[in-house]
Structure formats: C-alpha cells, structure tokens
Amino acid sequence: MGRFWWKCAALTDVGRVRRSNEDSVYCSAESGVFVVADGMGGHAAGEVASAIASEWIAERLCGACMTMELEQVEDRFRTAFVEAGREILRQAAENATRLGMGTTATVLLLRQDGQYIMGHIGDSRGYRVRDGVLSQITRDHSWVQEQVDRGMITPEQAKNHPQSNIITRALGTEAYPTPDLYDGTIESGDIFLLASDGLTDMLSDEHMLKILEAEEDPERCVARLVKEANLAGGLDNVSALVARIGEGS
Ligand code: CA
C-alpha cells in the first residue's frame, strides 16, 4: 500500500469561562479522517450539532476514500457536509430547544498515497507546518474575514475583533451548505493542525508554531496547545488536533 503514515492526537476542553463545551473532535489514524467542529445554539444544542457533524462526516469519508479518485473524494466531501447539515436541521425541527443550532466543521483526510484533502465550513481552521513555516490552509467564513478581504481592516485588527463571532457559512443554517475544498500533497515531517477559534483567538501563529515544533509527540502537543490557550485566558472552548506525517517503515 502507501508509503506515508501519521501519528495523531486530538483534545477538546471547555476553557476557563464557558460552562459547557460545544466543540467536538474526531481523530482516526486508521481511516486518516480528522474533524474539528464548533457548535452554536443554546440549551446544549451546540454540542449536539457539532457531534452530529463530526460523526456523520467521519462515517461518510472512511474506507474507500483512501483509494478513490480525487474528484470522487471531493464529491464525497460535499455530500457528507450536505447530509450532516440536513441531519442537524432535522433534529432541530424535532426539538424546539434545538432550533437554530449549527456548527462549523473543518475536515482533513490524509491518504497513504501522499494526498491530503481538506473540507471546511465556518471559522474553525486547518493549518500545515512545512519546513518551519505555518500556513493557514482554510479561509474563515466570517464577517471579519470578509472585511479583511475588502481591505476594510487589517489581519491584525481581525484578531480578537468584537464581531469575530459572526460566521457567514455553517452547517444547520441552510439546506445546501457548501464547503470549501483544498487538496495537496503530503511530505514526511509535515504537521497538520485543526483548531477551533478558542485556540486560534488565544494564541498567535508564532506561539502555535513554537509549540508544534517543540512537542514531537502529538498527545503532548495538543495538551500543551490547550494548556497555553487556557493560560492566555481560555475565553472559549478550545480544540486542537495534530497529525504528524512520516514516510516509509
Ligand atoms: Ca468557538
């Protein structure tokens, strides 16, 4: 089979201010499927929405996606997002306390043949570290990002902006949610990070990169990312998922 492998770990934490954790994570080294989802909606509905998203999407991406044509995998991603979104709408319609629930989802598929595919909706992010450089792969579906794109505010002003909670695309808010899809090749030594905004709002890119490079063991790495986000305030639920790529036996 393929020549690439990975070590991975995920951790989600309530943070230091919120009373419940509405984030969900899914991490399977075997299937190469990884999800971070950040739910919203009162009465514990947010955590229901993010759990539906991570479970439904993960279930639909496992198995054949490791060997399918890239185009087919991307179709599978789109379908998985739409189906998860519909399931959230269906469960919201059945239970008044869950009306309006929704979630972000950032999804990574790693393949042993050296391909990665990432799908994303909302403002949870996917990053890759290669040769000591941290690159954000996803682009937030948020009002603040739109202002940055229009040149109305700088990326620095976007960080911790008071309107940063307004997201422009999510699962559970529309009948046909459309994820943005990215694909590329993986190399030995690459590190992928998926994170909810409770991590990325608390830590600078430089700070995250320092931790990703210092902690080779993914378990220790996610523990330290979460710990330092909490030390920086822990204003929101914090989720971090790390996968490190290796090659050969
Ligand atoms: Ca959040």
CA 167 – ligand 1 centroid, Å: 11
Find the 200 Cα to ligand 1 centroid distance in Å: 10
Q: Which residue has the tokens 């920086």?
A: 232
Please give the distance, rounded to the nearest whole angstrom, from the Cα atom of residue 146 to the centre of ligand 1: 18
Spacing, Cα 6 to ligand 1 middle (Å): 27
pLDDT digit string (tens) for the chain, length 249 residues? 568 999 999 999 999 999 999 999 999 999 999 999 999 997 789 999 999 999 999 999 977 788 899 999 999 999 999 999 999 999 999 998 999 999 999 999 999 999 999 999 999 999 999 999 999 999 999 999 999 999 999 988 888 788 888 999 999 998 899 999 999 999 999 999 999 999 999 999 999 999 999 999 999 999 999 999 999 999 999 999 999 999 987
Q: How far is the CA of 5 from the centre of ligand 1 (A)?
A: 30
Give 21 Cα–ligand 1 centroid separation in angstroms: 9
CA–centroid distance, 40 to ligand 1, in Å, is: 8
pTM higher than 0.85:
yes
Read out DSSP for 46-83? HHHHHHHHHHHHHHHHSGGGGTS-HHHHHHHHHHHHHH
Question: Where residue 150 sits, what CATH number does that domain have?
Answer: 3.60.40.10
Report helix angle 45-61 to 70-94, nearest 10: 150
Containing domain of residue 102, as a range? 3-248
Structural domains of the chain, count: 1
